[in-house]
Amino acid sequence: MKYKLWDMSWREAEEAFKGSDTVILPTGTLHAHGPTPIGIDASAADRLADEVGKRTGLLTLPVVTYGEDAKMARYPGSMVIDAHTLEQYYTDICKSLRRNGIRKVVVVNGHGGNREALIRTGRNVREFGMLIAILEWWTIGVKAMPDLFHNDTIWLDELAIALAIHGKENADITPKMHKGEWGDNPTKPVYGDKIKAVAFNDSIFRGGPVTIPIDAWDIDIESPPEIKEEDLDSLFEKGVTMINRMADYIAEFAKEFEKVDVDKIFSVDKSDTLS
């Protein structure tokens, strides 16, 4: 049974849209992750969405490869989409889905920077009777599967997932220094002794969180891969396990989300039209 929209003829798509009012949408971006391929945010979301489609039979859309990346713009390979453009793009996808009878979208998001545009999209689409759920593997993993995912080494977990998806030969583990969401070294003390940069826009002052938007390039510290050839097999196997357990989790959520009656959550003006 087909579940990928791009594999279907328009007649098959018509029947698939009649089968459920819920779809799976993977979203990602392209930016630096140390020795990990720059496409992992998109490929991880795409792989997880594919596994969820297999498990649930829910219609699964192609991955939105490009995303928000302003804070990583100076890294080679980063592709930066303006946040307002991204919000409108996501909203237009949802409008098209609504015309096909879809009321609920499970977003498998691979990049934290997309979150704000996705949340704003969720606010937009309620006007025409839709509901969005945003799921991110790393936040779910750390909270729901602490035996497998670890907040202080999430960069290494991401490499494990990348090995399972892209292949062990695609990890850049040559002895060179890396930046960009890699390593456990502290960030540069760019604000003095009392204000500590944590990551991206996040800083801490006297134990409290403070937001200071800054280019990641300016605060990241270079770290060596510290991964040996003999480590790749175990990391690969861990990545496979992580993908399978996360896909099981998201699939279970998607089936519960499919049961939600959107009209009971908020009233919809049936005279509204989509432009």
* Domains detected in the chain: 5-157+230-265 (3.40.50.10310)
Does residue 124 contact residue 84 with C-beta atoms inside 8 Å? no
Q: Write the pLDDT tens digit of every residue in 248-257.
A: 999 999 999 9
Structure confidence at residue 270 as a pLDDT band (50, 70, 90): low
Instruction: Give the Cα separation of 20 and 189 in Å (integer).
Output: 52
Helical segments of the chain, H only? 10-19, 40-56, 83-99, 115-125, 137-144, 154-166, 216-219, 232-258, 262-265
121-124 own/partner pairs: CB under 8 Å, 24+ apart: 121/87, 121/90, 121/91, 121/94, 124/87, 124/91, 124/94
* pLDDT tens, residue by residue, 14-58: 999 999 999 999 999 999 999 999 999 999 999 999 999 999 999
- Counting residues of the chain whose pLDDT is more than 70, the rounded percentage is 97
pLDDT band at 269 (very low <50, low <70, confident <90, very high): low
CA-wise closest residue to 67 among 102, 105, 103, 26: 26
When computed from its CA atoms, the radius of gyration of the chain, rounded to whole angstroms, is: 20
Q: Evaluate whether 104 touches 133 at the Cβ level (below 8 Å).
A: yes
Residues 6+ apart with CB under 8 A from 249: 140, 144, 145
Work out the mean pLDDT of the chain and round it to a whole number.
Answer: 94
